Structure 1
């Protein structure tokens, strides 16, 4: 039957007079802008609490920009310069995961918002959305990276030496600059990984018809991993708020919450299931750190092992980490089993959860590494890490983390699968239950 002349052709619903291409680019720009603004706000609050507003030369905005660049996967290089009679060296490798997580959650939420009522989407459409969001993200990240540069003059604590340094042009300085090439390269990988994980985790994210058969085996364990990570962050936030109210150093606590809460929360996950980190702290160089970790890493000489036993020697409450791990991982395994198709053999969800948890802890270990160093020597006398310098090192034992993650995932996944048989699964019809 011919269409009446007055009928409007079908098309996407949106603001009148706005083409679909313009609307699509506006959505991509809004997604990227919301993520960047969120990261800037969280980084600014954390650095403000850490005292970065007192840095000389109006460096605060540049430091905030540098924190956002690092949180988004970029690279910021540090350098020291002290003329011909002195040498300086500086390095920093620590990801402010509070900033990273806040930006990632906002970007994922805004990216999925236009797709929330869709069950299936074409491959070309999905790739187009990812490409537009990626382009907008990289442009904004480039602008932030251009602002992430500053130089500081360093006093060596001796008025005469400082005056001589100023006279002969050897005043020590330390500065930082974003590496634009590396920042854009790693920033590209960061945003692509985030968008792919968004589709892996969210059951409501539409997939192309070619990928639908993967969702039953990938999405339940992926969603369980997200729940585990967010649950630990939520628990850490509650503990942090209590410490913020009752503790003696609320500013330091607030700085940790805004900059490194996931770093500590996810380390608690790894340590609670038997993982470990090694490292040491020579001197305080401005990185906020809980007192128990500071005490352990400063004890003795050389690298120290940070695991459940070491923490328990300083605080007997450390064994609560095991109980928390049992509860959170068991609940996540049960949730994954319930979201999986019915009548799967019990070993299947167990293996899937073991692989997922092992990979998750591998990523957690890589993200929670810390290396911070500043040193200065005059006329070749003194180590660059000597009296005028300091160092903080924290490295994960990756094989141990992956191993305990696989073991815990296997056990809790199997138990969760058995418990999950008692409830209705997606798409299951009838009251019959598969045999155990």
Structure 2
């Protein structure tokens, strides 16, 4: 709702209703994307009503929360496990809805005071805190694990036990990280938006920050769209549509943004062991399925699957140059080329840092019965994917400087041509 001052200038007073609608819309979107992705992945076959808690756990991990695995197989058996992975498709869907809901009441305003923005943010944060707390409490479940046929099953029948596996969330860290995620989404939304009002003291800062922030968001979304088109073509031509749609709905940005960093020249270390796999193209699983930790970069991809992976470098370079040009074109004409280059470098470095922190994967599950079935057997395995962080950030700085300077020169040439006019 809103009111007017004596001068007639509108002052928005955001109530709890719009805040509740924003938070509920975000949760419903994230829950729907997670549920559809898990359904496509076959999670509905989990025993004993596990599906709803698993969906809640997926949403919790999407905002940075952690899921702890536990097990109890009696005195003759042992279990161990851990899971750190962010389903970035769910994260991205929630961020888009949350950012849009946050900005909607602020559009078409000349300005906004700090108390107004603080009050609107506080309402959303209070409701979001309750929502994440509820999800963290719901995202826990325990179910029995069938040992099937073979030596493990025979031992289970002989000694009369069935392993119990469960998962839960660490509530306090999950709530704190969820609030940090919320703060990050809201800050980026304000930085990117052209229409959202800011206190007068921050207007100059947004003039410097907004073009680069807008460019980085566009770069990330463009990478996701390209991967989405490729995934849909693969689903239509090579079969296995359920698995492909599971990847799209759960981990498409994981793949797209990993490819973006690899195209920059970054290196990731990884390993795939046991029955588990990465939600990624088959070639990546092959590169990482080795006895020891493997290296994933452009060189190993080319060595494993031919020279076609050099196209990744070309595509990434084109995307960065287009982003730099668009960023410079949206900036005031008085900004110099070297300033564009510095801003592009800093923005790209921060973006790559965010990707490296969010796209890493650590998953481990081990079950042994009288020493049978340790890691590497049918009921055990691990997946590891982690970046060489500072090397990736350094390459992003270098790419940002080069493409930022080139994009600024292109934008300046276009401005001069437009100023000259048709007869120039």
Assess same fold via TM > 0.5: yes
| Match of residue 121 from structure 1 | 112
Between the aligned partners of 1:91 and 1:12, the Cα distance in structure 2 is 55
Alignment of structure 1 residues 371-386 onto 2, 5 Å = 371-380=362-371, 383-384=374-375, 386=377
Between the aligned partners of 1:319 and 1:73, the Cα distance in structure 2 is 33
How far did 1:358 drift? 0.9
Compared CA separation, residues 283 and 383, structure 1 to 2 (3 A): closer
State the TM-score, normalized to the length of structure 2.
Answer: 0.92
Q: Helix, strand or coil: the match of 2:167? A: strand
Alignment of structure 1 residues 327-338 onto 2, 5 Å = 327-338=318-329
How far did 1:12 drift? 9.2
Q: Which ranges in structure 2 are unaligned for 5 or more consecutive residues?
A: none
The counterpart of 1:323, out of the listed 304, 314, 329, is: 314
Kindly indicate whether the alpha-carbon contact (under 8 Å) linking 2:66 and 2:83 is maintained by their aligned counterparts in 1: no
Alignment of structure 1 residues 342-353 onto 2, 5 Å = 342-353=333-344
Alignment of structure 1 residues 4-403 onto 2, 5 Å = 24-157=15-148, 158-165=152-159, 167=160, 170-285=161-276, 287-298=278-289, 300-313=290-303, 314-380=305-371, 383-384=374-375, 386=377, 388-403=379-394
Between the aligned partners of 1:45 and 1:382, the Cα distance in structure 2 is 32
Compared CA separation, residues 9 and 408, structure 1 to 2 (3 A): closer
The RMSD of aligned alpha carbons is 2.3
Kindly indicate whether the alpha-carbon contact (under 8 Å) linking 1:93 and 1:370 is maintained by their aligned counterparts in 2: yes
Between the aligned partners of 1:194 and 1:160, the Cα distance in structure 2 is 52
Between the aligned partners of 2:85 and 2:411, the Cα distance in structure 1 is 39
Q: Helix, strand or coil: the match of 1:151? A: strand
- Could you give the per-residue CA deviations for residues 143-180 of structure 1, whole angstroms, max 9, x where no partner exists? 22222111121233444322245x3xx42121111222
Between the aligned partners of 1:153 and 1:162, the Cα distance in structure 2 is 12
Between the aligned partners of 1:288 and 1:342, the Cα distance in structure 2 is 44
Between the aligned partners of 2:54 and 2:248, the Cα distance in structure 1 is 18
- Could you give the per-residue CA deviations for residues 185-239 of structure 1, whole angstroms, max 9, x where no partner exists? 1111110111011111222221111101101211111111101100000101111
Between the aligned partners of 2:292 and 2:277, the Cα distance in structure 1 is 21
Query: What is the number of equivalent residue pairs in this alignment?
Result: 413
Between the aligned partners of 1:79 and 1:385, the Cα distance in structure 2 is 18
- Could you give the per-residue CA deviations for residues 328-387 of structure 1, whole angstroms, max 9, x where no partner exists? 111110111111121222111101111111111011011111111111122356645555
Q: Which ranges in structure 1 are unaligned for 5 or more consecutive residues?
A: 1-6, 15-19
Q: Helix, strand or coil: the match of 2:48? A: helix
Q: Helix, strand or coil: the match of 1:90? A: strand
How far did 1:8 drift? 11
Q: Which runs of 4+ in 1 moved over 6 A?
A: 7-14
Between the aligned partners of 2:369 and 2:236, the Cα distance in structure 1 is 44
How far did 1:424 drift? 4.8
